[in-house]
Each structure stands twice: as structure tokens, then as C-alpha cells.
Amino acid sequence: MGYRRFSTGRIIEHWIAILTVLVLIVTGLSQKYYYLEISQWLILQLGGIDTVRWIHRYTGLVFIILTTVHIMMAIIGVVFLGWRPSMLITKKDFLDAIQNIKYYLGITNIPARCHRYNYKQKFEYWVILTGAILMASSGLVLWFPMTFTRFLPGEVVPLAKALHSNEALLLFIIIAIWHVYNAIFSPDVFPLDTSIFTGYISEERMQKEHPLELMEIKEKEKETAREVSTEGLLEDLGERPLS
């Protein structure tokens, strides 16, 4: 079975993200590249440009809610519930990156030893999170241009369009190349990194990819086991009838 890596909440969150992002990419890129034959075909198949725009906007709304909930939960979790801010970028991540590149180039034979999230995952997380904020805010400007120009100069509308359109391509490239490679095609996980769907990761992979986390877990386990065994011993003693 391995180790529990993601809670049910995270699994649902990822599923929603997959679906909304897919819809957003399909309906968004076909609008960005409206002049391509395939885009025109797709838009007409989906019921016309107006329908595609409404699908894009409402899916965007779901995505905005998802992002907001994610950020709120992270803040509440870290500040009030004592969650470990494991996604924060630290100095070690830069050192890890350098170490790993050295490893890839054959300069050293020791790959970087990472904690719960490695530098690649952190990089992807932050690019996507900032991208999501950028996409959400520029998307809202494009959805409600009249409301925003009431207190902002008119130029924010074409600016939002430029940002939305360019950032979309950037995020698409990162997801399509980097995330899909790391989660599907990478030899480490091929044919699929199932941990985000099942919630569990194998010990072998933990050993290889998250050795520091595994070490910590094992230490914790030892501590609890010691506590459990002492308690169990006492219970055993307590429950044992006197002979």
C-alpha cells in the first residue's frame, strides 16, 4: 500500500483542476488561435462563439473558486492549524536544483535528496498558482470591462487581454510539457504517477524521490510505536487477570 501522500480533499481538488483546466485550455486556445481551421471547427462544434465564451467564463468561475478556496485553506491551515508550509521555496531548493543539474550532467553521482516536495514541484506549483491569479484577475477584467473601467483607465482591457492570452500559452506549455512529463512520461513514474488519484505512494518511490520525508515519517513512526508499545504493555499488564 505504501504511504498516504494526499488526502481525499486534495484528490477532489486535483480532479476539479484537471477538468476545469482542460475545458479552459480547449475553449481558450481555440479563441486565441481563432483563425486556425481546427479552432473554427471546434467552436462551431461546441455551438458557436457565444456558447464557447460562456463555457469559458463559467468554467473560469469554477477555477477561480477553486483557486480562492485553495489559497484560503493554505493560509488558514498554516496560520491557525499548524500545517507545515511545505511548498515554501527555501535556499535548499536552489542548491538542490544545482545539485541535480550537476547529477544530470554526470559531474556528481549523488542526486539531490528532497523533502515532501522537490524543487521541480515547487517551481511548477508557484508558476501555476501565480498564473492562476493572473488569469483570474485578467479574465474578470475581460468579462466585466465596463465595471473595471469605471475606476481603472480603459487601457486595462487590452492589457488584460495581452496578459490573459500570453499567460495562457505559458501555462499551457508548462502543463503540457513539464507536468505531463513528470506525471506520466517520466521513466520514474511511467505509465502514470497514481499518487494524486489513489492518495498513496510506494515506499520504493518515497525512498527515491522524497528520502527526507520518509526519514522523518519513519522517525515519527518509531516514536509513536514506542509510545504505543509502552501503552500496550501497560494495558496488557492491566488487563491481565491476576493468577
For 128-140, the DSSP string reads HHHHHHHHHHHHH
Which residues of the shown chain bind another protein in the complex (CB under 8 A)? Answer: 31, 34, 40, 43-44, 47-50, 101, 103-106, 120, 145-146, 149-150, 152-159, 162-163, 166-167, 169-170, 173-174, 177-178, 181, 186-188
In the complex with another protein, the residue whose CB is nearer, 100 or 195, is 100
- Of 83 and 190, nearer to another protein (C-beta) is 190
CB of 240 to another protein, least distance (A): 54
| Whole-angstrom distance, CA of residue 168 vs CA of residue 155 | 20
In sequence order, which ranges of the chain are alpha helices (DSSP H)?
Answer: 8-32, 37-45, 49-80, 91-104, 119-143, 145-149, 156-173, 180, 195-198, 203-209, 211-239
For another protein, give the closer residue by CB, 61 or 159: 159
Q: How far is the CB of 16 from another protein (least distance, A)?
A: 25
CB of 65 to another protein, least distance (A): 26
Our CA angle for 122, 93, 220, nearest 5°, is 85
Count of other CB atoms within 10 angstroms of residue 86: 12
Q: How far is the CB of 163 from another protein (least distance, A)?
A: 6
